[in-house]
Structure 1
Amino acid sequence: MTHTSSPETEGRVPADPQPTPAVQPAATTTTRRVDLERGTGIAPYTAVLWDLDGTISDSAPGILNSLRTVLSSYGLPIPSDSELLKHVGPPIHETFAAYGLDPIEATERYRAIYRASESFIGDAYPGVLQVIRDVHAAGIPQSTATSKPESSARVILESYGIDDSFLTITGASDDEVRSAKADVIEEALRRLDVAGVDLSNVLMIGDRFYDVEGAAEHGVPAVYVSWGYGRLGEEAGSVAVADSAERLRAFLSLD
């Protein structure tokens, strides 16, 4: 049954005081060669796709606080942080549908709260922005492939000063018609193709199984990064696991 709305709770809803830490897979020393339609998993790469939340940006504080506020405004109990973290990555309207809410109404409420929050622009993960700049300097075309709305992704990347390192910034459409990771990756590849980019050896970089599986649907290998919001097992199917920007840099053959 769909819940009806009630006045929004003011202020920050208390966080789970002791969230359960996610167990991450061990890092690999090299990437694994594969034979996919659009990639081998081995450098040099002709294009790189990036997830945003949990890969470039530590956006969880803002997302989780906004989720708590929205759920509380509907009179729902607030799950633990470890439970809420499972919803960082997939399209947000799917999260609200899972809680029995009207996904359109709840998503609109969430976006208003999230974009107005002080933690809308989260901290970038150590070293990642420089890796992005170095990929750009090496002449490798890049695009984001995020389930965050494209307009929000652009604001965040502009705040980091790296928006000009991307040939295109690709994300979910504001109407959520394009929001599944595989659909966002398809659009990113389409835009790169229109721009004349060689798509023979593309690499996806992300922190959730949505990134790995969504890329595989389009014949693109993926590197899983363990500093994000995934957990052990989500790296299945990836060509490597990076636990630091330095290791990712090595996988990209930037040194």
Structure 2
Amino acid sequence: MTSPTTPTTTTIAPTRTWSAVLFDLDGTIVDSASDITASLAHMFTELGLDVPSEDVLLAYVGPPLLDSLRLSAGFDDEEAWAALNIYRDHYADHVLNSPVFPGVAGVLERLHAAGIPVALATSKPESMARKVLDHAGLSQYFTEITGASDDEELSTKAEVVREALRRLQANGIDTGNAVMVGDRGYDTLGAAANGVPTILVEWGYGSPAEAVDAMAVVHSADQLRNLLLG
């Protein structure tokens, strides 16, 4: 979230007792940007189009990709789906390459040990998200793993957060004091649509401007752990 030339001010909210914690995946738990942008570059090349700059490609990381292909690349529905399938085929061979950000596994372990339910809420297809967490040895810390559906019927962050909350509630878990942990403004907006505040992490892919509506911004896993667990 930070840049070499743009200083940011870290804001820490008062410690609360959370009934559940929702996590984004890309840019929050795993550093997947280089693998995602490489697959996007492959996609544009296969389509015979100029490959956008790295900054432009990075902007695709986070929001539902099908929507970004329509809005940012200017594809119609048929073109967007064709491009998405090329991207997915390539990315499927690289999805397990993304490392976990330092300290994040420890935060998840501590939340699990404290008995606080944790759910994943990602716009990445749920099937891919499960593979990532399984490969990283993190699935054991999640009560629910929620992502976009392969057919993109469930894709926006608001929809994914709503579904994650629904699954937790179906397990008898109180979500009345839940919090979202993410790295982009899309996480904040999607969570807010469901009445959930958001903590943004500075190690992700968002810009400082995207933190304006966040409840808090943290720059280290230690700060995140303290904010979630006190």
On whether the aligned pair clears a TM of 0.5, the verdict is yes
Query: Is the CA contact (8 Å cut-off) linking 2:96 and 2:135 kept in structure 1?
Result: no
Report SS of the residue matched to 1:100. Answer: coil
How far, CA to CA, are the matches of 1:173 and 1:23 in structure 2?
A: 36
Report SS of the residue matched to 1:215. Answer: helix
How far, CA to CA, are the matches of 1:223 and 1:122 in structure 2?
A: 22
How far, CA to CA, are the matches of 1:181 and 1:46 in structure 2?
A: 20
CA deviation vs aligned residue, 1:77-98 (integer Å, no higher than 9, x gap) = 1111111111100011122223
Q: TM-score, normalization: structure 1?
A: 0.84
Query: Is the CA contact (8 Å cut-off) linking 1:114 and 1:120 kept in structure 2?
Result: no
Report SS of the residue matched to 1:169. Answer: strand
1:83 aligns with 2:41: no
How far, CA to CA, are the matches of 2:195 and 2:7 in structure 1?
A: 25
2:218 to 242, 245, 249: 242
1:103 to 73, 80, 91: 80
Shift in Å, 1:23: 4.3
Task: Trace 1:180-195 onto structure 2 (pairs within 5 A).
Answer: 180-195=156-171
Q: How many residues align?
A: 224
Report SS of the residue matched to 2:22. Answer: strand
Q: TM-score, normalization: structure 2?
A: 0.93
Unaligned runs of 5+ in 2: none
1:60 aligns with 2:30: no
Residue equivalent to 1:207: 183
1:73 aligns with 2:55: no
How far, CA to CA, are the matches of 1:187 and 1:232 in structure 2?
A: 28
Percent of pairs identical after alignment? 45
Q: Which amino acid aligns with 1:147?
A: S
Residue equivalent to 1:31: 13
Q: Which amino acid aligns with 2:87?
A: Y
Residue equivalent to 1:141: 117
| Residues 166-175 or 119-128, more deviating | 119-128
Q: 1:215 to 1:105 in 2, by over 3 A?
A: same
Q: Which amino acid aligns with 1:201?
A: N
Query: Is the CA contact (8 Å cut-off) linking 1:85 and 1:229 kept in structure 2?
Result: yes
Query: Is the CA contact (8 Å cut-off) linking 2:148 and 2:155 kept in structure 1?
Result: yes
RMSD: 1.5
Shift in Å, 1:100: 3.0
1:94 aligns with 2:54: no
Query: Is the CA contact (8 Å cut-off) linking 1:25 and 1:233 kept in structure 2?
Result: no
How far, CA to CA, are the matches of 1:96 and 1:186 in structure 2?
A: 24
How far, CA to CA, are the matches of 2:229 and 2:117 in structure 1?
A: 15
Residue equivalent to 1:218: 194
Residue equivalent to 2:147: 171
How far, CA to CA, are the matches of 2:187 and 2:7 in structure 1?
A: 16
Query: Is the CA contact (8 Å cut-off) linking 1:21 and 1:82 kept in structure 2?
Result: no
Unaligned runs of 5+ in 1: 1-19, 33-41
Q: Which amino acid aligns with 1:104?
A: W
Query: Is the CA contact (8 Å cut-off) linking 1:55 and 1:205 kept in structure 2?
Result: yes
